[in-house]
Structure formats: C-alpha cells, structure tokens
Chain A
Amino acid sequence: MSDTQDAPAPTQTDPAQMHLPQAVEPRNAGLPLDLGWLRSVQANTSAIERRAKTLPGRRSVKKDHQAAWLCRAISCIDLTTLSGDDTEGRVRRLCAKARQPVRHDLLEALGMEGLTVGAVCVYHEMVAPAVAALQGTNIPVAAVSTGFPAGLSPFPLRVAEIEASTAAGAREIDIVISRRHVLTGNWQALYDEMRAFREACGEAHVKAILATGELGSLRNVARASLVCMMAGADFIKTSTGKESVNATLPVTLVMLRAIREYHAATGWRVGYKPAGGISKAKDALVYLSMIKEELGDRWLRPDLFRFGASSLLGDIERQLEHHVTGDYSAGWRHAVA
C-alpha cells in the first residue's frame, strides 16, 4: 500500500518532521470506481448549513489553547503565491517566511521554536526557485498543475505539466479536476483523469482540487470527493482560490464526511485542504474544530490537513503577539512574506 513504509515514524514534538506526508500515513491506493456507492451519496444542504453555522458557537478555544491551536494552524498552512507577477525574488521571500513564519521572540515566548508552515505552494515556473530557497528544511514545495486553475488545456500537456513539476522537485502536486465531468455526471471520465494524474505524480503526493464553487451542489461535491479518493487522491482540496466561491464551512463538512466514509470503508486516510477565503485566525480555529469533530485528532496534522492561504498567517501572527503581550498587535510589527 505504501511505498515509504520504512520511513521513520513521526515524532509528535518535532514540528520540523511533521509536514512530511510521506513519512506518516500509508498512501491511499484507491479503489475501482464504485458507482453504486456513489449513487447512495446524499447531502442535505439545509442541514449541512445548519451544522456549519452552529459549530462556531459550540466550540470555543481560548487562551493557551488558542495559541497552541493557532500554531497548529501555521504548521498546516500551504503558504501560497499564485500570481502572474511572481518572480524568483518574491518566491524567495515567501520561502523565508515559510521557514520563520512567526517572529522568533514570539515563538520563544510560546515555547514553539522551530515552527514552520506546512508547505510552499507555487506555479510550476517557481518550483525550482522555491526548492532552492527551502534547502536545508523539510518544507515541501507544492506545485499547482494540470492547467490550473481551469484545467482545460490539452490532456497530454496537463499530464506533462505534472511530470515537469515533480522533475523540478515538487513533492506535492495540486491538480484541478475537469468540472465538466462532474456537471455532466461522467464519473468514469473523472475517475480516469484522476487516476492518470495520480500515476503521473509518482512519489509526489497529489491533491485533487474540486473547485467546489463550480460544482453546482453539495451532493456533487460529495460525489466528486469520493471519485477522486477512489482514483487515489492523497488529499482533496476545495478550490483554486480563483473561483468566485472558494472554501466554505458547508463544503468542508461535506468533504470531511466523504473522507470519513472513505476511511471507514477502506482504512485509508485521505487529507483535506480548504483553500481560498480563509484569512482570519478565528476562521482557522473553526476549521480545526470542525476537523477535530468530524474526523478526529489524527487529521489535525500537516500530513492530513492543510490550509491553502496567503493572508491567514498575518492575522495569526497578530493574535499570537496579543496572546504573548496581552495587547492588540499591528500588522507592521510582523515580517511580510
């Protein structure tokens, strides 16, 4: 099942080790496409929204717990830049921030020295500079791929893009699915596409971006989640960040429940990555508590959970300084990426 079974077991107290997906969990090998299972999937939008809406009021994390949870959130961030004007210099800055996401004195005060983000996420052209900039750390580089964000470039090129990125040193590949397969109910095509992407990734872990904002319904989100897991996705991810609606709590709930169902049926743990629109520390806490509630503590680790976010870190830094000093912080007191 796993191609890295000999890897050392993770140590819980060494954050530097904890973002290594390969080192922890046997990879999801996938299943044959099970259309019967797919057809039985239901998602009641109103009930799901109700659960999502009330959760923040049910779970409140305060004081030291809040600080610890926010550090955990940092360890799960895919620090991301996906802009047309990205340059090597910009990516080097981002990587420096990934190594030292929070001011050293604050981490020292919290007893959290050595904390890093989960990964750095860039376009293919920026993979090599990012890998170079992260030399000496265990922070992996993730590349968005397969004609990101629309995924409508020629199929062979999409596969080739994956191969190019892994060759350049990307250890994680964020692929985009063909939304049209979901919208037309062509599950076989979606499955085949995902399978091909997974194979092209080789050792690299593959995150399947569903672009949930374009799938039309939560039931479609649930079904697409399952198909991608059946086809071997290591992670399922909500959004490219480029859709008009990105990660939401209802979508998250649906995808987490799909992961739970898949785990119950197969024993494989698939990771989850919400992306786009999560910019507040408070939101991050709600996401973490939803994962804790629906999937359990095991998923609160960077090998099974990532935030796709660019501005979240800044808000968390301010909250952490507030925790350390007791006074509200200001943005300019923290290093930019």
Chain B
Amino acid sequence: MSVRDIYDTMAYGSAPESAADAYAWLVDQGDRFGHFIDGTFTEPGEGFDSKNPATGEVLATLTQATAADVDAAVAAARKAQGKWERLGGPGRARYLYALARLLQKHARLFAVLETLDNGKPIREARDIDVPLAQRHIYFHAGLAQLLESERPGQQALGVCGQVIPWNFPLLMLSWKIAPALAAGNTVVLKPAEWTSLTALLFADICRQAGLPKGVVNIVTGDGSVGEMIVAHDGIDKVAFTGSTAVGRRIREVTAGQGKALTLELGGKSPYVVFDDADLDSAVEGLVDAIWFNQGQVCCAGSRLLVQEGVADRFHDKLRHRMANLRMGNPLDKCIDIGAMVDPVQRDRVAKMVDACTSGQTYRADIDTPQTGAFYPPTLITGLSPADPLMQEEIFGPVLVGTTFRTPAEAVQLANNTRYGLAASVWSENLNLALDVAPKLAAGVVWVNGTNMFDAAAPFGGVRESGFGREGGWEGLSAYLKPSGTSKKLKPIEPFPGNGDPDDGIDRTPKLYIGGKQARPDGGYSRTIHSRTGKLLGQVPIANRKDIRNAVEAARGASAWASTPGHARAQILYYMAENLSARATDFAAQIDAQTGTRTGKREVEAATSRLFTYAAWADKFDGQAHGVPLRGMALAMREPVGVIGAICPDEAPLLGLVSVLGPVMAMGNRAVLLTSEPFPLPALEFVQILETSDVPGGVANILTGSHTELAPHLAGHADIDAAWSFSSSDVSGEIERASAGNLKRTWVNNGHARDWFAPEAEGRAFLDQATEVKTVWVPYGE
C-alpha cells in the first residue's frame, strides 16, 4: 500500500516490537535450560519444549525436574535459610533492591520474552506485568527494611515451596518471591511448564544481584513437580496461585503436614453496572476486565450484571467496542488481544462456549490470525444464574451476563457463586457504590474501575477463590510466624470414675443453639467425673445434625456482622460483668472439673480476656493504603462469617472465651465445640450468654467428641473458617475436610499454647477472625 492509499484508508498497519535481544539471550543459554539450584544452573536433562503460542515455534527446551532435583533444591534452600534470615531485614532489603533495579534495567528483555512465551500483547507485558513486578520487589525491599521495627517478635517460616501459573509468569513470581525473601525465607519455585522462561531469566538476574546461593531455587516441570514440592517434608510453607481444582488438591495433600498454606485460586468475578454509571467508561472498563490477557486472569470481570433499564444500550455499546478490538501478533504494539497460552486452552474455551445453548452469543467480527492459539472476544448475554457458563470459570476472552432490577438483586446475583475473588461496581452515585462494595463476597472490589493492582494493596479471595493475601503488610504476614518454639500438646483425657453425685438437685446441661438450650439430636449423654472419680454431671453428646442446626442458627444471625463495633463491645463487657459476678461459682466448678486450684485465676483471666476483646471490637481498623492512583485503596477488616472452632481442652473456660472473644468482637458467629474432657464450665457459661444480651445464633455451644465432630465441622459448606486448639490429633482431619469449600483453617498441629499468656490473645486471633477486603475507590471530578 502506498502512502496515498493509507492516507485514504487510515489503516493502522503493524508495529512489531523486535524480539532479537530475547532470541539472543535464549541462544546464549544454548536454547536448553536446566534448573536453578543453589546459585547455579544444572545440566539440562530430559524435558519438554517451550513454545510461542502465537506461532507454535519452539523457543527452548526445558528440563522436567526429578524427585532428586526437588530434593536438591529444597536442601539448598534449607541450607541457605538460616544465614539469609540472620542477615536481617536491612541486609535482605539491599538484595531485593538490587533485584528490582536489575528487573528495571532489563525491563524490555523481560517483556519481550514474556510475550514470546505466553502470547500476551507486548503492551501488557511492557506496561503492566513488568512494571508491577518491579514495583512489588521495590515495595518488599521496603518491608524488609522495616520488618524488625514494625513486626517485632516475628520470624520467617523457613523454606517456601511456591507454584505459580502461566497467565502472569513474571508478575506471579514476584508476588511469591518478594514477600518470602523479605521475611527471611528461602524459596523453591516452580513456574508453569508453558511459561518458564522469564523465571529462568529471573534466575540469571539473581546471579547478577549476587543473591546468596540457595535463597532462590527454580525448578521446571509439569504438575507432578509441583506436587513433589508441595508434598515435600522439607517445605514449611506452600504458596500456590492457579486453578481451584489444583488448589483443592494441594489442600488435601498438605493436610496434617503442619505447613502454612496460602492459595490464590479461580474466580467468576461480577462486573456490576448500575443505570447511573458512566456507561462508556464501564464499557471501556470491560476491555480491561475480560479482554486483558485474553481473559486468562483469575480476577477477570467475567460475569456482567447490568441494570435492566440500560442493558440494551449498554450491550449495544459493548458490541460496538468489541468490533474495534484488534487481535494478532502479540509482539505488535498495535493490538489489544494476543494468543492464548496454548492451543489446549483455546480448544477448552471453544468447547465450553460451543456447549452453551442459551443466551445470545456475539463474537467480535475482527481479523483473526489463521494459525496460533487465538480466540475471538466473545459476549454471551441473556443467560441465567443457572446456566453453567454463569457459574464455571471460563478463563478466556468470553464475557457472560444477565440483568438485574435493584441494588439488592445485584448483590444477590453477584454473590451467587462459589468463588469470591474480585468484583467491579460502576455507579456515579457514591452512596450506592459504597453501600454495595462491602456487601460483595470478594477479596477485592473496584469501584468504577477494574483490574487495578499495587504491591501496597492486599489481593486475594474468599470462598473457593482461596485464602491469604498478597501485597502490603497483610500479605507479608503469610510469610511470618511468632518467634520462639512451642511445646507439644499432650492429649488430655477425661477423668474416669464411678462415684456418687454431690447432694442437691439434678441438673441437665444442654447444648446451646440459636439462643436456646437444646437437647442433643442423638439423645445420648456422657457422664463427667472429677479427678477423684466423683460424678459431676452428664453432658450431651452432639452429633453432625447438631452441628447442622448450630450452623443454620449462626447463618441466621448475620445481623451481628453489621452490628457496630461499639455495640458488640457493650455486649462483651456485659458478659465480663456477669462472669465476674459469678466468679466464685465458676472457679469452684473449674477446680472440681479439672482437679486443680487454678479456677480463680482462670475466671479472672477469662474476664480480662472479654475486656480485651470488648476493647478491640471497635479498634481493629482497616487501612487506607497509598497506591499510585488518585483515590483510595481501603483494606477493610470484615468478619469471616461463621467460624467453627474446637476449643482448647486444658482450660475449659478460658479456652472457650479466648476463642469466642475474637470471633464475636469482629462480627463473626461461632459454632464452638467445648473442651472434650472438661465440658461443664463451658455449658455453665451458657447462662452468661443468656443474661448478657448476646443475640441468638451468635454463639452456639456444643459438647462432644473432637475427633468425631471435627470432619463434620470442617466439611460443612456453610462454615467459612475452621479452627482447632484440641489436644486430640484433629489438625490434619480438619485441613483435609476443609478442602471441600476451601474454607480457611487455623489449627494447632499438636502444639500447645499458654492460654494465660499474651500469646493467647490479640492480633493473631483478630487476623484469623477477619478477612481483608480491598476496596479501590478512584475519584476525581
């Protein structure tokens, strides 16, 4: 075409970025890669090809790690860890700073290599992935510098096994490695087998930064290598980003191994457009929501919910916009949509879309390359929540949607999902947007925006989108633990006996469900004896149906979540007041039950603990994070929901109160299983609950066998988190059973906690009793 012709047509033409330097780097490495273990690259071994999904061209040959490779990597990481941690925060900060600088110096090489390997448009790799990765490492250099002064009494977890996905290979690497290293951990990381090249380039950067050997180890291979890493007994912490199915598998595999775990999984994030939104901007937002990275984004705004009155107009505008998207060579600086990561993914998406028989499907009529893993931007409107495509994650450039009538219905539809990663809300009415945002079941909410990320703003999900946060101090805490070592917790057995009861009227302690005392569903009771074998009473034996009833009551008491912190504090104070009034009774009962003389001290500690959580109820604030944006990123502390907890055996009253306090203070509802050997003081405590204005369903108290009930508690889909401080060995069972709905777990792994000590209250408990929801509110007139 001549200049004159183009002058007439005003076509764009192509503007390819040169890949010469990236190819040169691959050639320099011999086009074959081993693993990066203990500071050096191993000899390339048996492996697989890494291909450019846009062309099918082989870029390099990678090595499939063996069990011996993983062992070597874990051993190198273990060997390096102590010295790395002892280097101190400021010492580690210098290395992180160097890594960030090197990433910046080689920014274009990383971007081009990422595009070649992954198929994403060079614009995204260049303007989003690589700058965000740099920012993440810089930010964590800062966290390392401040760690010791800001988080005293914390130490690294040890060796972290990290498995990352193929959609943002370098960025996810930085999200994993930066906090781990900042906190003093060492790392064995496995990139996805489709996209390992930038991780290997990063290994090269680690050498250039002079990072001590063994601090970062990178092994390549398929999912079986990932499984070897997560199951490895030399690993202290597993961090995974990827599909919910694999996340669930990891939860099962690591159950009972005592490993810390964070999972960042799939999503089906709602994109809610109210009729007073700037519709053109909301349409443009969708380009960034679902056509960013070919829709292969865990937090993609993939479920479009539009208010009925503007739906037709909005969909028209959207189809018009889709027709202007440009798909093609990912290295072309003038395209919007590149290749999907692999033909396998393209075919999977095509199959899902082809199987959809309802709604109206619109495929943008745009130029599509004849070869390569390309899939056109697609919109399916007129679906219902019951349609599979409204529920299943597609993980491709396919937007599905329906309409709603009212804000309440928008929230209902938005939350009608097993996932809970992100959500977008579009409205020019601040009252509406800020009312809806907290009601959405999601870890991240963007108001009038989408897919905004920053190292300072925690990111992560709820429900089957996983648990744990990445970014900010909140994210760093997933790589830290309290300093010091804990003692083993010995199982505590109930006292045997066949003695007579004391004189007096026979009493019948009952379960406490929904604000009422209830007989156990099974109709069985257990006899409780004192140390001397005297009969103290009978307690009900709860079964799974009692758990079901208790959870139902807890779910029904959802108003507690929106009860102001001040009001919650008043009730906790009232409980303390009433407990104090009966201190002598409780002390005597604890002494009789446990056969010790600690009752008085325990009642005093329990009273004080209630005061502590009454104090916290209106003070465990969120944070407004400074993000590079004119606006706010509010990290709000929200209640987790319904928490099922197995209380400590050893301190029958203080243990119960130590669990119930933070749960109630933060607006959660509790289903508590009391001390198994010493249940009587907890059942006596029901009278305190009944006389302290605690709304029915907020605190539900059951007695029974920990080992028998643990799987039912952890497996219940309507429980949002399961905790255990039992002296019975139920930690593994709870972690295993939690995989069903991927609820958060907090278990003692058989370690003791001193319930009279400061470690038994405060921030650690409050963290577990809250979810961080990051609400992004850009503003400006």
B-binding residues in A (CB < 8 A): 12-13, 15, 42-51, 54, 57-65, 67-69, 71-72, 110-112, 216-219, 257, 288-289, 292-293, 297, 300
Contact = CB atoms under 8 A, between A and B. Distances in A.
A68 to B, nearest CB: 3
A202 to B, nearest CB: 32
Given A46-B631, A68-B4, A60 B281 contact: no
A72 B4 contact: no
Contacts of B334: 58-61
Contacts of A65: 6, 11-13
Q: Kindly name the residue among B5, B13, B281 whose own CB sees the greatest number of chain A CB atoms within 10 A.
A: B281
Among A12, A15, A68, A257, max chain B CB count under 10 A is at A68
Interface stretch (B148-156, B271-279, B605-613): B271-279
13 contacts: A12-B8, A45-B780, A45-B781, A49-B780, A50-B449, A57-B123, A58-B336, A62-B14, A65-B11, A65-B12, A71-B3, A292-B10, A297-B9
Contacts of B278: 42-44, 47-48
A44 B425 CA distance: 13
Candidate in A49, A57, A71 with the most chain B CB atoms within 10 angstroms: A57
Interface string B421-453: 000000010000000000000000000110000
Contacts of B280: 257
A46 B449 contact: yes
B284 A47 contact: yes
A155 B338 CA distance: 56
A111 B4 contact: yes
Chain B contact residues: helix, strand, loop or mixed? loop
Given A64-B13, A112-B7, A297-B9, 13 more contacts: A13-B4, A42-B279, A46-B449, A47-B282, A47-B284, A57-B126, A57-B333, A61-B13, A64-B6, A67-B3, A72-B10, A112-B3, A112-B4
Interface residues of B, number: 41
A64 B5 CA distance: 10
Contacts of A42: 276-279, 428
Contacts of B105: none
A186 to B, nearest CB: 20
Contacts of B449: 46-47, 50
Given A44-B428, A44-B448, A57-B123, A69 B10 contact: yes
Nearest to A293: B324
Interface of A is mostly: helix
A110 B629 CA distance: 44
Interface centre among A48, A50, A67 (most CB of B within 10 A): A50
A11 to B, nearest CB: 10
A112 B778 CA distance: 46
A46 B778 contact: yes
Contacts of B336: 58
A110 B7 CA distance: 11
Contacts of A13: 4, 8
B128 to A, nearest CB: 9
B407 to A, nearest CB: 17
Nearest to A291: B10
Nearest to A220: B781
Contacts of B15: 60-62
Contacts of A257: 280
B2 interface: yes
A48 B781 CA distance: 11
Contact of B780 (A12, A15, A46, A289): A46
A125 to B, nearest CB: 35
B574 to A, nearest CB: 45
Contacts of A57: 123, 126-127, 333
A63 B10 contact: no
A236 B738 CA distance: 61
The 6 closest A-B pairs by CB, nearest first: A68-B6, A65-B13, A47-B281, A46-B778, A60-B333, A60-B15
Contacts of B13: 61-65
B524 interface: no
Contacts of B7: 15, 68-69, 71-72, 112
A293 B629 CA distance: 25
Nearest to A113: B4
Nearest to B287: A51
A59 to B, nearest CB: 6
B10 to A, nearest CB: 5
Nearest to A46: B778
Nearest to A219: B781
A112 B6 CA distance: 11
B779 interface: yes
B630 interface: yes
Contacts of A54: 127
Nearest to A296: B324
Contact of A46 (B9, B279, B779): B779
A217 B779 CA distance: 13
B667 interface: no
Interface in B43-78: none
A47 B631 CA distance: 12
Contacts of A216: 781
Contacts of A12: 8
Contacts of A46: 448-449, 629-631, 778-780
B285 interface: yes
Contacts of B5: 68
A145 B631 CA distance: 40
Contacts of B428: 42, 44
Nearest to A217: B781
B1 interface: yes
A68 B3 contact: yes
Contacts of B10: 68-69, 72, 288, 292, 297, 300
Contacts of A45: 779-781
Contacts of A64: 1-3, 6, 13
Nearest to A301: B10
A101 B573 CA distance: 83
A131 B100 CA distance: 61
B310 to A, nearest CB: 9
Interface string B262-303: 000000000000001111111011000000000000000000
A181 to B, nearest CB: 19
Contacts of A59: 12, 334
Contacts of A58: 123, 334, 336
A307 to B, nearest CB: 15
Contacts of A71: 3, 7
A47 B276 CA distance: 15
Contacts of A50: 449
Contacts of B276: 42
Contacts of B277: 42, 44
A15 B448 CA distance: 43
B279 A47 contact: no
